[in-house]
Amino acid sequence: MMELVVAVVVGARPQFIKAAALSRAIAERADKGLRPVIKQVLIHTGQHYDYQMSDIFFLDQGLPAPTQHLGVGSGAHGEQTGEIMKRLEPVLGDLSPDVVIVVGDTNSTLAAALCAAKLKIPIAHVEAGLRSFNRTMPEEINRKLVDHVSDLLLCPSAHAASNLKSEGITMGVHVTGDVMLESLIWAQSDPDEVEEVLDHYGLTSGAYAVATVHRAENTDDPARFAEIISALEALAVSGLSVILPVHPRTAPLLHGRAVPPSLKLIDPVGHSEMLALATASRIGLTDSGGLQKELYWLGIPCVTMRDETEWVETVEAGWNILAGASAESITNAAQKLLEHTPTERPPIYGTGDASDRIIGILIDRYGKAQEH
C-alpha cells in the first residue's frame, strides 16, 4: 500500500496545539480514503510534562496519545537538548520515516532537527522563517539553526519567507499560513462555555485584561519582571481586573507576593479555556508569541511585553504595541489601545487551511516515490 510515514516531534505546550491541527487534517484525509495513506507517528520529548502543561492539551485538542514518549523533562539548555537527541536518535533510526516534522522554536525542535539531519532524514519545519533578531533569546538560536538544516520551510507569512531569503534560504520555502488559526477555530468555545469560564473566575465580559508572562528574557531578569508585575498591578487597580494564568517558570517568582485581589493569579489553563479568557477580554498583555496572534484573530488588542516580536504584521496592523518591559510603557500602550482600538483585521496569517497546504506539499515532495 502507498504510505507516507511522517514523524512529528513535539515537546512543549504550543507545539501540541500546532501538531493537533496537522493531526486532524491527516485524520480527515484518512476518513475520506485519500491516497497516499499518511501514517503519523507522534513523538513527545517530555520537555513539558505537568498535566496542565501537556496532557490537558492532548485532551483539549483531540490529539492522539504519543506513539513514543521520551520522558526527558526539564534541565539546562544543553542538558535538555542533548538528552532529547540521545533518546530520539535510536527512535528515528528504527522508524526511518519519510520526513520528520518539527514545529516552532523550542529545545525539542532543535534537538529533533539535529537528530534527523544527522540521520539524513528530510526535515519539514512548521513555522519557519520567524525572527526576532535578538540572539540572546534561546528560541532565536533554535529557529535559525533549524531553518538552516530543514528541507521544507513552511512559513506562516510572506514576511517569514523574506527573512529566509535574506539568509540565503530559497529552496523548499512555502508560505502556507499559520496552523494555529485552525486550532483556534477548532477549540473556540461557544458563548455559554465562555460564560461558564467567566463565572468560574468571577470575571465580567469586556471588563478585564488577560495576561501571560513566561519568556526567559522577562522571568530571568528581576528588574524586567518587577516592572511587568508593577504594570499588571497598576492596571488591576485602575478598574480593569487582570487574570494571569501563571506558567511554572513564573510561579516561584510570584510566590509570597501580595498582589491586589483584582490581579487574579491562576494555574496554567488548557487551550480552550485560554481562548475563552481571551475572547471575552478587553485587552491582552503578553510575552507569548501564540497569544499575540490569537488576540489578533479574536479582535482583541494586545500589548507585547517584549522588545521585539516575530509577529510584526500584528504591530503593522495596529492591533499590537511592542512595549518592552517598563511599567510606564506597558501602561501607556494599554491606555492607547483601550482608547483607540483598530477596526480592520486583514487575514495576515492565511485563512485557516495551512494544514491541508502543508500535507499537500509533503505529498508532492515525499509521496511520489510510493505511488509508483
Tell me which residue of 287, 284, 333 sits closest to 310, measured CA to CA.
Answer: 287
Q: Decide: is 12 part of the binding site for ligand UD1 (CB under 6 A).
A: yes
Q: Which is nearer to ligand UD1, 24 or 48 (CB)?
A: 48
Q: How far is the CB of 77 from ligand UD1 (least distance, A)?
A: 7
Q: Which of residues 50-89 bind ligand UD1 (CB under 6 A)?
A: 50, 53-54, 74
Q: How far is the CB of 295 from ligand UD1 (least distance, A)?
A: 16
DSSP for 154-194, written as a single string: EESSHHHHHHHHHTT--TTEEE---HHHHHHHHHPPPHHHH
Q: Which is nearer to ligand UD1, 12 or 269 (CB)?
A: 12
Sole window of 8-16, 128-136, 275-283, 292-300 interacting with ligand UD1 (rule: CB under 6 A): 8-16
Query: How far apart are alpha carbons 326 and 221 in whole angstroms?
Result: 12
Q: Which of residues 179-238 bind ligand UD1 (CB under 6 A)?
A: 214
Query: How far apart are alpha carbons 306 and 288 in whole angstroms?
Result: 9
Q: Which is nearer to ligand UD1, 52 or 329 (CB)?
A: 52
Tell me the CA distances in angstroms from 2 to 6, 308, 358, one per residue in order: 13, 45, 19
Q: Decide: is 170 part of the binding site for ligand UD1 (CB under 6 A).
A: no
Q: How far is the CB of 215 from ligand UD1 (least distance, A)?
A: 7
* Helix then strand then coil, % of the chain, to nearest 5: 50, 15, 35
Quick one: residue 120, left, alpha or beta (phi over 0 = left, psi -120 to 50 = alpha)?
left
Alpha carbons within 13 angstroms on the beta-carbon side of residue 154 total 29
**Grid cell for residue 251:** 510561579
Annotated active-site positions, please?
Answer: 214
Q: How far is the CB of 11 from ligand UD1 (least distance, A)?
A: 8
Q: How far is the CB of 153 from ligand UD1 (least distance, A)?
A: 19
- Report which DSSP code applies to 12: S
Q: How far is the CB of 262 from ligand UD1 (least distance, A)?
A: 26
Q: Decide: is 106 part of the binding site for ligand UD1 (CB under 6 A).
A: yes
Alpha carbons within 13 angstroms on the beta-carbon side of residue 216 total 10
Q: Which is nearer to ligand UD1, 325 or 363 (CB)?
A: 325
Sole window of 49-57, 119-127, 147-155, 349-357 interacting with ligand UD1 (rule: CB under 6 A): 49-57
Q: Which of residues 129-158 bind ligand UD1 (CB under 6 A)?
A: 138-139
Q: Which is nearer to ligand UD1, 141 or 338 (CB)?
A: 141
> What's the CA dihedral at 365, 369, 370, 372 to 10 degrees?
130
Q: Which of residues 29-48 bind ligand UD1 (CB under 6 A)?
A: 47-48
Residue type, 343: T
Q: How far is the CB of 36 from ligand UD1 (least distance, A)?
A: 33
Residue 211: other Cβ atoms inside 10 A: 31
Q: Which of residues 237-266 bind ligand UD1 (CB under 6 A)?
A: 248-249
Backbone phi and psi for residue 197, each to the nearest 5 degrees, phi listed first: -65, -45
Q: Decide: is 355 part of the binding site for ligand UD1 (CB under 6 A).
A: no
The residue length of the chain stands at 372
Interface with ligand UD1 (CB under 6 A), residue from 35, 37, 39, 49: 49
Q: Which secondary structure element, helix H or strand E, spans residue 106, and what is its range?
A: none
Residue 51 CB contacts under 8 Å (≥ 6 apart), including other chains: none
Q: Which is nearer to ligand UD1, 54 or 183 (CB)?
A: 54
Q: Decide: is 14 part of the binding site for ligand UD1 (CB under 6 A).
A: yes
Place of cell 544527522: 118
Residues of this chain that interact with ligand UD1 (CB under 6 A) are: 12-14, 47-50, 53-54, 74, 105-107, 138-139, 214, 248-249
